[in-house]
Amino acid sequence: MTDGQGSIKSLIGRLFQAIAGIGGRRFRKILSWLRLTLVLAILAVTLSLIAAQLIGLKRSFVIEARSSLLDLVFTGNFNNWQFDQVIICRPADSPDPREAANPDAPCPDNIYEISKQTDYTIEWPDHSGVRLTLDPDGTLVVETGRDFPFLKASGKAGNPDREGEQVTPPGLPAGTLILVPAKAWFRNAALTFEGAATIGQDIRSGVRHYLHEGRWEARQTALFTWWLRQFTEVIKDGHLHHGVEVTVVDDKKIPVKVFGHVAPFLGGDLPAVFTVVALSEPGRTELRLGQFGLRDPAIVRPDLLDLASSSAIFVAAFAVLTILAALTQILSDLFARHGKGNAASRAKSEKELHD
């Protein structure tokens, strides 16, 4: 044994003797209570994490994607779109598909009535549905009165008072196509929306419009600090694969309201796509992912591990409490061994005195 090790051992021995002088039993009792308190604190932190997951702190999903298809059902006050120039193709009152359509017309003129408008504003009423697609030349196509089976099942699409009736803006009956030339759309740039949204569609043979790429984030109120300051932190994220259909839904699998915008995608070597960004309202939300080959859509939601690993306060508190509990156990064991050693020494000394 080196001199340094001997001095450390001597110092520890004197420390335990001092503690024993103060009151060995009392100190052991204090260590036991401290260890029990720390174990209970660790248990309380763990239970609070489980409670936060079960009770459900409100979370939002953020989606950013490049797609050539977007389905919307509007609800809210931020659904007014302005265009410098549009071409409106309304379903004809007496269509005749047997007639040859003019190949130079923007829409088949044998089934549509075509008109051009400038400085055109559309105010989308609540529960009206549209489908946005992008042609290869960059023309944005807005189709009104679409019947979306998934969104309609949620009760958000269609007239809530008259089942089966589509809600459309005045003068734009169901099936109307609104064509926005690429240059006109670039001048107007982003179009904001508020309502239920599905980005992309379940890809299959012959489909021309679908989601090309994207990413998502799940953001939730910070664990243990939500009552002090209201901010969110990313607790889970991921990428959106080519050809997936994505919708933010609640725990009953009903689409929730999102706030977002769609804008021209400028740059890159992707084919004609637009950029979609959507932020869902806070709540018990999930991500619904439809993919070719899946019998049922995949549901993505954060779990306990995601919630724990994303909270720096939880990780720090758990680590500190665990270290303190381990230290109290070590001190208790050392003190117990030292006490046994002292007892054995005293017994030996007493025996020698008697002898």
Q: What is the pLDDT of residue 214?
A: 95
- Summarize the confidence of residues 274-292 as an average pLDDT: 91
Question: Alpha helices, DSSP H only, in 102-259?
Answer: 149-153, 182-188
Asked, for residue 285, whether it belongs to a domain, the answer is: yes
Global pTM reads: 0.71
> Do residues 251 and 59 touch, judged by C-beta distance below 8 A?
no
Q: What is the pLDDT of residue 80?
A: 92
14 phi/psi in degrees, rounded to 5 = -65, -35
> 151 in the Ramachandran plot: left (φ > 0), alpha (ψ -120 to 50) or beta?
alpha
DSSP string, 17-59: HHHHHHHHHHHHHHHHHHHHHHHHHHHHHHHHHHHIIIII--E
Asked, for residue 115, whether it belongs to a domain, the answer is: yes
> Do residues 302 and 56 touch, judged by C-beta distance below 8 A?
no
- List all residues 6 or more positions away from 137 whose beta carbon is below 8 Å from its beta carbon: 182, 272
> Do residues 191 and 263 touch, judged by C-beta distance below 8 A?
yes
Calculate helix-pair angle for 3-51, 312-354, nearest 10 degrees: 140
Asked, for residue 334, whether it belongs to a domain, the answer is: no
pLDDT tops 50 at residue 104: yes
Q: What is the pLDDT of residues 302-319, one digit of tens each?
A: 766 656 555 556 666 666
Q: What is the pLDDT of residues 239-256, one digit of tens each?
A: 999 999 999 999 888 999
Asked, for residue 354, whether it belongs to a domain, the answer is: no
Asked, for residue 317, whether it belongs to a domain, the answer is: no
Asked, for residue 99, whether it belongs to a domain, the answer is: yes
pLDDT classification of 269: cutoffs 50, 70, 90: low
For residue 124, give both structure tokens. 């989308």
Asked, for residue 2, whether it belongs to a domain, the answer is: no
Most confident region among 1-5, 41-45, 228-232, 306-310 by mean pLDDT: 41-45
Mean predicted lDDT score pLDDT of the chain? 76
The DSSP code for 181 is: -
Rounded Cα distance between 184 and 178, Å, is: 13
326 phi/psi in degrees, rounded to 5 = -65, -40
The DSSP code for 351 is: H
For residue 205, give both structure tokens. 């043979």
Range of the domain at 265: 57-310
Domains of the chain: total: 1
Q: What is the pLDDT of residue 344?
A: 47
Q: What is the pLDDT of residue 185?
A: 87
| Paired strand residues for 134 | 140
pLDDT tops 60 at residue 65: yes
Asked, for residue 247, whether it belongs to a domain, the answer is: yes
Q: Which helix (H) or strand (E) holds 212?
A: strand 211-221
Rounded Cα distance between 61 and 69, Å, is: 20
> Do residues 278 and 247 touch, judged by C-beta distance below 8 A?
no
